[in-house]
Amino acid sequence: MKNVILSLSSMLALAWFGQIVQASPKQNVIVILADDLGWSDTTLYGNTKFYQTPNIERLAKRGMTFSRAYSASPLCSPTRSALLTGMSPARTGITTPSCHLPQVVLQAVVSKSAPPDQKSIQPQTVTRLKTEYRTLAESFKDEGYVTGHFGKWHLGSEPYSPLQQGFDVDIPHHSGPGPAGSFVAPWKFKDFDHDPTIPDEHLEDRMAKEATAFLEKHQNEPFYMNYWMFSVHAPFDAKKSLIEKHRARVDPSDPQRSPTYAAMIESMDDAIGTLLDTLDRLKIADRTTIIFTADNGGNMYNEIDGTTPTSNLPLRGGKACMFEGGTRVPCVVVWPGVTTAGSYSDVTIQSEDFYPTLLEGLAMPKQPEQILDGMSVLPALKGQTFRRGPVFQYFPHSPGVPDWLPPAVSVHRDEWKLIRIFHGGENGAHRYMLFNLLDDIGERNNLASSEPELVKELDKLIEDFLVRTNAVVPVPNPAFNPSRYNQELEGKPAPKGNKKPKGAPAAPVKSADSNSPPNWRSSKDVVFIKNDKHLSFQSTGGDPWISTRAIPEASGPFTVTLRLSSTGKGSGVVYYMSKNDKNFLKERSVDFPIVHDGKLNQYTIDVPAKDLSALRVDPGNAPGEFSCEQFDLRDSTGKSSSLLK
């Protein structure tokens, strides 16, 4: 009888324990990824007096702020792929933000050639996140979580969209590099219209509303939510009331002085506040982990309100460059029961670390064949002594932004940072930049020549990393011509309005390749796309242009009619040469606005020349895809000729 009573007691105890286990809910996870938000763009680190981010401060008071968090890349798509897969861009081959372009490239390869002003030949980027990679969403889904993606994706359209990468929900199901048209309604998303009762609805307000509905619907079940913000990526527009609010606060001596950008940051911060308010109202904040970070540093190459969008000081450089301003990003992790409220860490972490950290912290399995280049930083989140070890950024490209470098890879280890510039030295050797970030956070004092042994040691880490990730790396350019290269111009931004810095060579003309249409040439920043019907090409940024000398004999003045689609940025310029001209000159050019919405738009440009020998079109100054379906030239008699034939 005693044994029966004990057995009954044991059964009741087990049943009671099972109820507790069953009643204990799984931890929810929200990943908030800001777009182009620099390390100095929030009030977390004391570097701004202009921007206001009280809700990010609310977040910091609930968790741990990291002062040395790094994005996997100085550009967005590579970092997004790294965060979602735990793998370096060196491994996936996604090294530029080209995942919105129509051509599907799933394997990185080294390009066949490079212009004579480049010492190395760059790899061609992968343009889609392959579905064979296991994503965070798929790991959570296998554990019974409902999964949702809200906001920017930029890792490929279907069949590579969030809906094919483990997410149950994807809003607005947009594969482009930024907002469709604008932040303030009306915008131009497909099948995602603004609320007609809110004529000036802001996109971040709407996205926060959509995310709130998701949280309300799934408050009683475990969820994983990507809240990948469109803010603060271009286009640079914001609520008028907020722009005027911050215009009154501008200090002309402050390098951060764009009221539009300040207004964009405020709307971004408001959206984060909406999410926090919702978690509090639903009483699920105590079982929701929040990771807040950014995909790369702040934008220093566009212009708004007569200045750059932001300043990353005291860091050097910004988005699309390998200095700290391009890859050091804000980061806060809130993990109830793990992080201490209001805590601070100087442990080095990066985008690839979040995946393995979540797996360990939530006791979720890693698949046997799964590769993770990041490592769990759970001890750091717990406040324990922890040394992350080296982190790497791989960026084998050279867009012409301020503080740009030739194709490079970097390693951070403790206070030291080494940048290897591929084949940037003499006779094809690599060139190095070494900085002690503890003493020189602005990276002004290159110590490579005085610390040769340390350079050798850190470069060995880089080489091991490249081998381990099977990276497709730049190779020496056999066509390199030293007379075409001026190292003193490294880091100087691509000139606006096509005005070259004093002493700089003219924008180099790329040799024709198999995709080059007859009679057309381009700068090194243009890649023609084979198309039998249209003139199609891709810009990698910098100084893109296309030109032709196949001009019919005629008398001016002339009119150019273009039907052009674009996903780039910036104003367009038509340059014209007369018979006695040897080069295109700024005084012989006409500016025209371009709508960069990916749709065909028609432009009419008057060319005040008596005769013509060549025409050149500069379609902006940023990466993008372009397709020209009409390029007609009409002379003074009204006769029209197509330059595409």
Q: Is the preceding omega at residue 501 within 30 degrees of 0, hence cis?
A: no
CA angle 599, 597, 41 (to 5 degrees): 165
DSSP 532: S
Q: Is the preceding omega at residue 186 within 30 degrees of 0, hence cis?
A: yes
Q: pTM for this one?
A: 0.77
Q: What is the pLDDT of residue 592?
A: 85
Q: What is the pLDDT of residue 494?
A: 56
Q: What share of the chain is helix, strand, coil (3-state, %, to 5)?
A: 25, 20, 55
Q: What is the pLDDT of residue 486?
A: 83
DSSP 384: -
CA angle 179, 181, 185 (to 5 degrees): 90
Q: Is 533 exposed, middle or buried (0-12, 13-18, 19+ CB in 10 A)?
A: exposed
The closest alpha carbon to 94, from 110, 83, 106, 112, belongs to 106
The closest alpha carbon to 564, from 622, 621, 616, 628, belongs to 628
Q: What is the pLDDT of residue 502?
A: 35
Q: What is the pLDDT of residue 487?
A: 85
Please report the domains of the chain, with CATH numbers, ordered by start residue: 24-388 (3.40.720.10), 511-642 (2.60.120.260)
User: Is 299 within 8 Å of 403 (Cβ atoms)?
Assistant: no
For residues 75-92, one letter each, b for 16 or more C-beta atoms within 10 angstroms of the residue's C-beta and e for the rest, the string is: bbbbbbbbbbbbbbbbbb
Q: What is the pLDDT of residue 555?
A: 85
Helix axes 203-217, 259-281, angle to 10 degrees: 10
Secondary structure element (H or E) that encloses residue 596, with its range: none
- Rounded Cα distance between 458 and 435, Å, is 12
Q: What is the pLDDT of residue 455?
A: 98
Q: What is the pLDDT of residue 557?
A: 87
For residue 115, the SS3 value is coil
Instruction: For the chain of 645 residues, list the mean pLDDT of each consecutive stretch of 10.
Output: 44 44 74 97 96 98 98 97 98 94 92 88 95 98 97 96 98 92 89 89 96 97 97 93 96 95 98 98 98 96 91 95 97 97 96 98 95 97 93 93 93 97 95 97 96 98 98 95 85 55 38 64 83 81 86 88 87 87 81 84 86 91 86 88 86
User: Is 566 within 8 Å of 594 (Cβ atoms)?
Assistant: yes
